[in-house]
Amino acid sequence: MIRVLSLMGVQDSGLVQAEQLPNGALHLLFQGTEDFLRYVPRGSGLKVTKALLLGEGRTRSLPRVNHFDVVVNSIADPDASHLALEEAASLLEGAAVPVINHPTRVLRTTRDGIAAMLQDVEGLHVPRTLRVAPRRLADVEAVVRRGGIDYPFLFRPAGTHGGTALDRITGPGDLPTLEKYAFDGRDYYLTSFVDFRSPDGLYRKLRFFVVDGRPYPRHMIITDQWNIHQRNRRDRMAADPALRAEEMRFIEDFDPASVPAIDEIHRRVGLDYFAVDCARLQDGRLVVFEVNAGARLANDARGGLPRHVRTIVSAMVRMIRERVREADAATA
């Protein structure tokens, strides 16, 4: 039995969400933490202990790391959970056991950090991304005037995902729509917008999970909207069997050789597992939207995981076992 310590974290804001399960129990959701170990089936040979870090030294009882065989850092958002990641990094200083997704590496995966890291990778188009902390709308206008970014661009608060707080600014006339945000010095991202429509006029967003350097297809969401998320599956794909069939072909016929840039992404990012959200441009390049460990592997596992998702989970379990074997061999 492999003893696994899973590190989870509370957002810097202190916000914790709760959802009521069908049996009436409450399930706590820690945004910024993506715990893939919850999908590991019983009988996998892993004994998982979870530790919740609050950040800034507020965690009252820290686990003894070296009492475990391996540590899996599940804290994944360097913007929303920066403090918890810093506490995790401090906790793991001098650890004598392998660490999956070391927090010091996760801290590098901000949107602007990834854009800078991958800018010159062959086969990729990585949109320009700026991190700004405006005090007024005029500060955003000034960034555009100085040539920091061109129209159209995307505007979103740092640490947000899911497309719920995301605006496309096509020209100066759209800027007043940003007044709904708090310009109090908090961080926002400006990202160049790339039109990734296919020749048929639809948008196709791909998600891969990269586990130990190997890419695995998670989904292809197809819609007529540029802001693509899971809700688009319900809005468009649910009513179109041809689109659902296209997604299944993408998953079942996937060849890792079709995305050679993944090797270089893995080398530069340096995480043991992470997700890539992207789209295929008409010139064959992949336009990169996100690269991080916080992408959701499954929206609802209560009805069981699809076969291709179980394959990803199995790859993650194999990786853990391999890291433990390597550590044991090194100390033998």
Do domains 110-124+197-292 and 128-192 share one topology? The answer is no
- 26-29 and 17-20 beta bridge pairing: antiparallel
Strand partners, 29: 17
CA 2 to CA 15: how far, in whole Å? 32
Yes or no: is domain 110-124+197-292 CATH 3.30.470? yes
128-192 has which fold? Dna Ligase; domain 1 (3.30.1490)
The pLDDT tens digits along the chain (332 residues) read: 999 999 999 998 888 888 777 777 777 788 889 999 999 999 999 999 999 998 877 777 778 999 999 999 999 999 999 999 999 999 999 899 999 999 999 999 999 999 999 999 999 999 999 999 999 999 999 999 898 899 999 999 998 887 678 999 999 999 999 999 999 989 999 999 999 999 999 999 999 999 999 999 999 999 999 998 877 777 788 889 999 999 999 999 999 999 999 999 999 999 999 999 999 999 999 999 999 999 989 876 566 899 999 999 999 999 999 999 999 888 86
Terminus-to-terminus CA distance in the chain, angstroms?
Answer: 18
Q: Is 280 helix (H, G, I), strand (E, B) or coil?
A: strand
Q: Is 278 helix (H, G, I), strand (E, B) or coil?
A: strand
CA 99 to CA 6: how far, in whole Å? 10
Q: Where are the alpha helices (DSSP H) in the chain?
A: 82-91, 103-106, 111-117, 137-145, 230-235, 241-252, 261-269, 307-331
Q: Give the Å distances, CA to CA, from 227 to 139, 202, 204.
A: 25, 12, 10
The two three-digit tokens of residue 41, written as one number = 């089936």
Contacts of residue 317, defined as CB under 8 A and 6 or more positions apart, other chains included, come to: 40, 44, 46
Q: Where are the domains of the chain?
A: 2-101+313-317, 110-124+197-292, 128-192
Q: What is the pTM of this model?
A: 0.93
